[in-house]
Structure 1
Amino acid sequence: MILIANSGSTKTDWRMMNADGVHNQVHTAGINPQYLDAAQIYNIFEAELLPNLKETNPTAIYYYGAGCSSPDRNLRVEQALAKAFPQSLIHVDHDLLAAARALCGHQPGIACILGTGSNSCLYDGKNVVDNVPSLGFLMGDEGSGAYLGKMLIRAYLYRELPEELGESLKNRYSLTKDSILDSVYYSDMPSTYLATFAKFMHDKRKDPVIHAMIYQNFDEFFERHVCKYKDFDKVPVNFVGSVAFHFSETLQQVAKKYGAHIGTIITSPSEGLIAYHQELLAQIGEQ
């Protein structure tokens, strides 16, 4: 048995499987080592993952996660996993690799993540060969739910929203200036907090003011990320993540502006990753 984890800042999808298929599935809170240390990550495993695995010990763990973009951050996840599963072989990779494998398979293309955060890469069918860096919610994350939330909340606090729209937002979330600033500057997962407002924007997406923000969000993502890749208009541009999926109509409009061809849009790379690892297990006869 192997354990596959696909983790974003908001949620983590765990699948226990062998070559015959998935035998157990667990969902836990999101994990991002950019914001959490090894002890905090292990606490999530102890509270939400281990009780649901019923003492099943995987031979190997393949963890793909947001924020796993440097040796130091990866080590935090590895340490927490090693404490939770001391007998397992552990592989920690960036969620970009998961996205590329799930979206492109063995074909060249551009793989983009638009969820709580955002990222992208150019994939040659085997490896990630180029990556315009993701700068996180403070300096970047264009295209993401956190970026949408930041645009909306900034407009609200600056009194730039139409009165009715601003009141609707305030009443729905019981907003005050202090509660917003505390959640952004003093919480462990500020990007997750900001991304919660994407649901409001989806509900109000036909409002001209909200639609303009959604369009601008994707326009900045294409301009600053997608268009930097060689031949971006000649290979499929694929997307994974809830923001890409739920705002796909506007995403298509922006892609058309730049002459890009959108291939696949899915909410999660999990199914693609399952297929990928099932092939590997079948090759080695893992049971």
Structure 2
Amino acid sequence: MILIADSGASKTDWRLITKEKEISQFRGIGFNPNYQTSEEMAQELQVDFLMNLSEEVEIIYYYGAGCTSHKNRQQVEAALRSIFKRAAIVVDHDLMAAARATCGSRAGIACILGTGSNSCDYDGELIIAKRPAPGYILGDEGGGAYIGKRFLADFIHEEMPKKIRDLVLEKFQLDNAQIIEHVYQRPFPGRYMASFCRFITEHKHEPYCYMLYYQAFVEFFKKHIMKYDDYKKKPANFVGSIAFYNSDILRSAAYDHDIHVNLILEGPISGLALYHQQLL
């Protein structure tokens, strides 16, 4: 049996492929070794779907946010090893997941626009270039945390349209103290800030909400795609809920900046399942 995981800051999608090529799935909490210890991740992994497979899985392919460094990959492997003691475990970065799921064996630019953001230039087999991804405080342009941060800052400074502000107050009963507590005192502030993107998407027909996305996507293009060699000649592919549910705005912003958008997927897990089926 092969177990595949695609993990971001907010959720993890799991696919189990049997030798008969039957596929089952499960969605659980997200992980990031930049913010969690092996012990914390191991605790969160103790769910029935995974525990029931502990003796059957032969190999695990885990693709995750924050898995760039050797140290972080070791942390994730140790957490998985606490349950899957006999399986071979391969931990890779979520960028490779995006590249394999959207490009397959073809060259292209693979991008992630979910809670966070990232990108790479892929030659059909290897990642040949990538841009820095310093996280929600110093980066994540175009991602949910970045957009939510701007949205909450506008709320605090009363710089959003009154109509939108009134809707926010009605839906969330939001106040400045609550925002400060969630962002500076509670765990996973990135998830909290990104959680407001559902509301922003629901109201993207409003110019203010539309432009939050449009401007964030342009910032992403400038920090990422436009810094790759010959970017105008390469298809740009995207995975992530922010890209998927706002694909109309993303494509419009890309067209305005001479960027060719190819695939936009909500998540890479289905593409990864197809990619790894050949190993059975």
TM-score, normalised on structure 2? 0.96
Q: Distance in 2 between matches of 1:26 and 1:33?
A: 21
For the Cα contact (< 8 Å) 1:142–1:218, is it kept in 2? yes
Q: Distance in 2 between matches of 1:49 and 1:41?
A: 16
Match of 1:155 in 2: 154
Aligned length: 280
Match of 2:20 in 1: 20
Structure 2: segments with no counterpart, 5+ residues: none
Match of 1:11 in 2: 11
Is 1:134 equivalent to 2:133 in the alignment?
Answer: yes
The one-letter code sitting in structure 2 at the alignment partner of 1:107 is: R
Q: Distance in 2 between matches of 1:157 and 1:170?
A: 12
For the Cα contact (< 8 Å) 1:18–1:278, is it kept in 2? no
Match of 1:198 in 2: 197
2:211 is paired with a residue whose SS is: helix
Q: Distance in 1 between matches of 2:53 and 2:74?
A: 26
Is 1:2 equivalent to 2:9 in the alignment?
Answer: no
2:119 is paired with a residue whose SS is: strand
For the Cα contact (< 8 Å) 1:6–1:95, is it kept in 2? yes
Q: Distance in 2 between matches of 1:215 and 1:29?
A: 29
Match of 2:239 in 1: 240
2:6 is paired with a residue whose SS is: strand
For the Cα contact (< 8 Å) 1:15–1:22, is it kept in 2? no
Q: How many angstroms does 1:174 deviate by?
A: 2.1
Q: Distance in 2 between matches of 1:8 and 1:225?
A: 19
Match of 1:227 in 2: 226
* 1:98-113 correspondence to structure 2 within 5 Å: 98-113=97-112
- Following TM superposition, where does structure 1 have runs of at least 4 consecutive aligned residues deviating by more than 2 angstroms? 18-24, 47-51, 53-57
For the Cα contact (< 8 Å) 1:148–1:213, is it kept in 2? yes
Match of 2:50 in 1: 50
Q: How many angstroms does 1:48 deviate by?
A: 5.7
The one-letter code sitting in structure 2 at the alignment partner of 1:9 is: A
Q: How many angstroms does 1:54 deviate by?
A: 5.3
Q: How many angstroms does 1:73 deviate by?
A: 1.4
1:264-286 CA deviation, whole Å, 9 max, x = no partner?
Answer: 011011111111111122xxxxx
1:167-189 CA deviation, whole Å, 9 max, x = no partner?
Answer: 21122122121211111112221
Q: How many angstroms does 1:195 deviate by?
A: 0.7
TM-score, normalised on structure 1? 0.94
Match of 1:89 in 2: 88
For the Cα contact (< 8 Å) 1:28–1:49, is it kept in 2? no
1:5-45 CA deviation, whole Å, 9 max, x = no partner?
Answer: 11111111111113532443121101111111111101111
2:248 is paired with a residue whose SS is: helix
Match of 1:257 in 2: 256
2:180 is paired with a residue whose SS is: helix
Residues 22/182 of structure 1: CA separation in 2 closer, same or farther (3 Å cut): farther
The one-letter code sitting in structure 2 at the alignment partner of 1:132 is: R
* 1:181-196 correspondence to structure 2 within 5 Å: 181-196=180-195
Percent identity, aligned pairs only, is 41
Q: Distance in 2 between matches of 1:240 and 1:277?
A: 18
Residues 165/110 of structure 1: CA separation in 2 closer, same or farther (3 Å cut): same
1:50-100 CA deviation, whole Å, 9 max, x = no partner?
Answer: 34x355521111100011111121121111101111111111100000100
Residues 99/272 of structure 1: CA separation in 2 closer, same or farther (3 Å cut): same
Q: Distance in 2 between matches of 1:216 and 1:33?
A: 30
Which deviates more from structure 2 when the two are superposed, residues 182-191 or residues 155-164?
A: 182-191
1:228-283 CA deviation, whole Å, 9 max, x = no partner?
Answer: 001110010000111101111111111112111111011011111111111122xx
Q: Distance in 1 between matches of 2:49 and 2:248?
A: 36
